[in-house]
Amino acid sequence: MAPTVAATLIYVPTLSISLKQRPGVSGVFPTSSVLFPRSRRIGSHRLRVSCAAKPETVDKVCEIVKKQLALGADQIVNGESKFSALGADSLDTVEIVMGLEEEFGITVEEESAQTIATVQDAADMIDNLCAIKQ
């Protein structure tokens, strides 16, 4: 009796994790293969004064933000979304920046982290730091 109880306990975590992984993986593939965002980005790249972030970076940042704030699939997160508008308080913002550090393998300074207000700011800083790292 005891071994079967333990077996069912072990099963539950792996099931829930694999369920969570699948939607995340399938969510990444379509966006990276769609051409529309890429062509739109090139146009905005010409208009911006500072260098714009790559669309893949923005997509990854949006994914991490959505996961951290537990936003549904119907809520739109793009480059111009402000963290405060998405319902993130300062603690959430710190957690998101830490998640981005871990994901991209960079280290963000305290002062730079406080200036991040939108998804685009975060993506720009990530690309700058990745370029400096290389």
Partner 1 sequence: MACSRAEALSLFRSLLRVASTFKDYNIRSYARRRTIDGFRENQTLSDPSSISAAFSDGKAQLVVATRQALVYDIYAPTTKSVMETLGV
Binding stretches for partner 1 (CB under 8 A): 14, 17-18, 21, 89-91, 94-95, 97-98, 102, 110, 113-114
Catalytic-residue membership of 89: yes
What is the distance between the alpha carbons of residues 107 and 82, in angstroms, rounded to a whole number? 22
Q: Which of 59, 74, 89, 92 is catalytic?
A: 89
Q: 1: which residues sit within 8 A by CB, 6+ positions away?
A: none
Place of tokens 């700011």: 121
Smallest distance, partner 1 to C-beta of residue 117, A = 15
Nearer of residues 47 and 91 to partner 1, judged by Cβ: 91
Q: Phi and psi for 48 in degrees, rounded to 5?
A: -75, 150
> Which residues are tagged catalytic?
89
